């Protein structure tokens, strides 16, 4: 089984799509929070966070969500993370509106603002705090080689893969 955490408006066929918010145009399979996944331990072979972690607080909620992902992964299961990275956006000369969008902006009217400004290093450190053997991979390869949902090969995104021992 495959779990897509924070699927939002991007549900993936053949994945269990989970999101904490349920808006009229969102088609999720399970309404729930990444902090307390409503699944048994070792249920999923794949767990994916697509543009989700940056919406959780860096010090506590994001690590808690990663611990939950670790719990529901089977031994040998694969975690995939794709999200924005300010340093990549700057290095690839992205427009100011995108830099502004990637930046921390707590308190948006919809409550979905970024809680921290993600970079390659701080995102990798966050994932490694739970999944010791994590690595940054080319975002173009993530969609091709793994079939992760909602994976676009934009050069301002970081992709991280980790396998549960």
Q: What is the pLDDT of residue 48?
A: 94
pTM of the model: 0.91
**Please, which contacts does 121-127 make with residues 24 or more away whose CB atoms are closer than 8 Å?**
121/87, 122/58, 123/53, 123/54, 123/81, 123/83, 123/85, 123/158, 123/160, 124/158, 124/160, 126/53, 126/58, 126/62, 126/63, 126/66, 127/66, 127/79, 127/81, 127/160, 127/162
* Model confidence pLDDT, tens digit, residues 17-70: 999 877 767 788 999 999 999 999 999 999 999 889 998 999 999 999 999 999
How far CA 35 is from CA of 32, 66, 68, 76, 142, in Å, comes to 9, 8, 6, 22, 24
What confidence category does residue 137 fall into, taking pLDDT thresholds of 50, 70 and 90?
A: confident
Alpha carbons 29 and 130: distance in angstroms, whole number? 26
Sorted by where each starts, the structural domains of the chain and their CATH numbers stand as: 2-163 (3.40.50.150)
What confidence category does residue 154 fall into, taking pLDDT thresholds of 50, 70 and 90?
A: confident
Which helix (H) or strand (E) element contains residue 149? none
The most confident of the ranges 18-32, 71-85, 99-113 is: 71-85
- In sequence order, the β-bridge partners of residue 16 are 3
What confidence category does residue 107 fall into, taking pLDDT thresholds of 50, 70 and 90?
A: low
Q: What is the pLDDT of residue 163?
A: 94
What is the percent of the chain with per-residue pLDDT over 90, rounded to a whole number? Answer: 64
Alpha carbons 144 and 97: distance in angstroms, whole number? 28
The most confident of the ranges 11-20, 101-110, 118-127 is: 118-127
């Amino acid at each position: 089984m495959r779990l897509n955490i924070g699927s939002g408006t991007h549900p993936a066929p053949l994945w269990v799509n989970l999101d904490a918010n349920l808006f009229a145009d969102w088609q999720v399979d399970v309404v729930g929070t990444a902090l307390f996944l409503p699944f048994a331990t070792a249920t999923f072979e794949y767990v994916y966070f697509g543009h989700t972690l940056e919406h959780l607080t860096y010090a506590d909620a994001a690590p808690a969500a990663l611990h939950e992902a670790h719990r529901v992964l089977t031994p040998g299961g694969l975690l995939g993370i794709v999200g924005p990275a300010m340093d990549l956006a700057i290095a690839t000369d992205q427009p100011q509106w995108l830099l502004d969008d990637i930046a921390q902006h707590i308190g948006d009217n919809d409550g979905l603002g970024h809680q921290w400004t993600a970079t390659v290093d701080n995102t990798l450190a966050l994932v490694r705090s739970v999944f010791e053997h994590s690595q940054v991979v080319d975002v173009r390869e993530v969609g091709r080689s793994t079939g992760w949902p909602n994976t676009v090969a934009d050069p301002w995104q970081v992709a991280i893969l980790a396998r549960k021992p």
